[in-house]
Amino acid sequence: MATGAIGVAVIGAVTAVAVGTGGGSGAAPAYATVAEGAVTATAGAAGNVRSTDSRDLAFSTSGTVTKVYVKVGAKVRAGARLARVDQTRALEDVAAARAALAAAEAAESAGTTVTGATGATGSNAAAATGRATISPAAYRTTTSPSPTPSARPSTTRRPSTPPSTPRQTPTSRAPASSRSSGGGTSGGTTSAAQLEARVVQAKNTLTQAERTLAGTVITAPIDGTVLAVNGRAGDTASASSTFITIGDLDELQLQATFSQNDVARIRIGQEAEITLSTDSTKTYAGSVTHVDTNATTSDQLVKYGVMIAFDDVPSTVLIGQSGTVSVTTASATDVLYVPSPAVRTAANGTSTVRVRQGGRTVTRTVEVGVRGDAYVEITSGLAKGERVVTSG
């Protein structure tokens, strides 16, 4: 007398029945009933909690740390002072730059031109046009006192004198003035343009000195919480080396890495469930906010970074805390579905199932929709209540 055993297991709304005979040489096929309900597809990954907006802050100039105003965990407002290095040299440079600018502006305002050859000074109008002028009195001191008759005969009685001699007086009047007004050579005239250039240069020097002074202090660029302080008073801080890190703890996210197969199904805005390592019994709702476009490769595995924001940030969550996330990539409700093992897909994309029909098993082509983790949506080819083979 043959004996048999029947086992029934309920998976969601699907009833799977395994039938075996004691004399069989192989495993008996298992069946499942086509049911109606919801199918959900997810993609999972692990990651760590981070602030949505975190900033690594550094001094822009090296120096000895003289003051640290905050500690880790302190909440700060934008613009608050966080740390400072020695400012002695920077303050001195600013004072010197301001004095140089004041002197340059005073010279430009006076409009003075200095002529090394004659010791004469020009008017404000001359400085404005960049041309030096010579007063009649000054001119008389560099030429003959009066046009006496002896001057002309003196020239004609000495025919061997080079032609340049009669042009001696005009040369000291016009050409000399032209060279000194624009050339800026030694013994020449400082023009209005040169005076203005000196003011601009002095302003630039002051701006740089003030920028260096500002770089001796780290201020908070945003409202946030101090996450790290990498030094204390007396330490030497290097320019551009992170000294303080702050972040916005009101907006936290889990940064996870997904495989290239999973990331292809992930879109911004998709819903997700986050589980933290400190309590695996709780899940927190979230949504996808960012998907990296550049991959990272490790041990020949290609992965992409994905950011998932908490809908409501847990009060006990910590920056850097590890966790896992399950992103809902697709879902369908009120549809027919069967367990995933029941569907076989060929290389050409055709899907088939084996159906128990009239005491025998037949193969039937079906159309599928959402492929979930445990179930597959059937859009055509099966009817509710039919039994399909899941194994054997």
Pick the more confident residue, 21 or 196: 196
Query: Is 340 a residue whose pLDDT tops 60?
Result: yes
Q: Which tens digit of pLDDT belongs to each residue from 186-197?
A: 445 778 899 999
Residue 82: pLDDT band by 50, 70, 90 thresholds?
A: very high
> Please, how many CA atoms are within 13 Å of residue 318, restricted to the half-sphere of its CB?
8
DSSP string, 211-265: HHHHTTEEE-SSSEEEEEE---TTPEEPTTS--EEEE-TTSEEEEEEEEHHHHTT
**What confidence score (pLDDT) does residue 301 get?**
87
| Dist. CA 244–CA 124, nearest whole Å | 55
Sequence ranges of the chain with CATH classification 2.40.420.20 = 4-35+335-391
Residues of the chain with CATH 2.40.50.100: 54-86+216-246
Report the distance separating Cα 3 and Cα 5, nearest Å. Answer: 7
Q: Quick one: pLDDT band at residue 88, thresholds 50, 70, 90?
A: very high
Each residue of 156-181: pLDDT tens digit? 444 444 444 444 444 444 444 444 44
CATH class of 4-35+335-391: mainly beta
Q: CA 237 to CA 62: how far, in whole Å?
A: 6
Per-residue pLDDT at 112: 54
Within 10 angstroms of residue 305's Cβ, the number of other Cβ atoms is: 18
What values do phi and psi take at 210, rounded to 5?
-65, -35
Of 357, 354, 356, 331, whose CA–CA distance to 342 is shortest? 354
Helix and strand numbers, DSSP H then E, in the chain: 8, 23
Q: Which residues in the chain are classed under CATH 2.40.30.170?
A: 45-52+248-331
Window from 188-192, 241-245, 302-306 with minimum mean pLDDT: 188-192
d(CA 106, CA 195): 10
Query: Which tokens go with 384?
Result: 């509710």
- The least confident of 78-82, 166-170, 233-237 is 166-170
CATH of 54-86+216-246, one of 2.40.50.100, 3.40.50.300, 3.90.1150.10, 3.30.565.10: 2.40.50.100
Give me the chain's average pLDDT, please.
79
Choose the CATH number for 45-52+248-331 among 1.10.357.10, 2.40.50.100, 2.40.30.170, 3.40.50.300.
Answer: 2.40.30.170
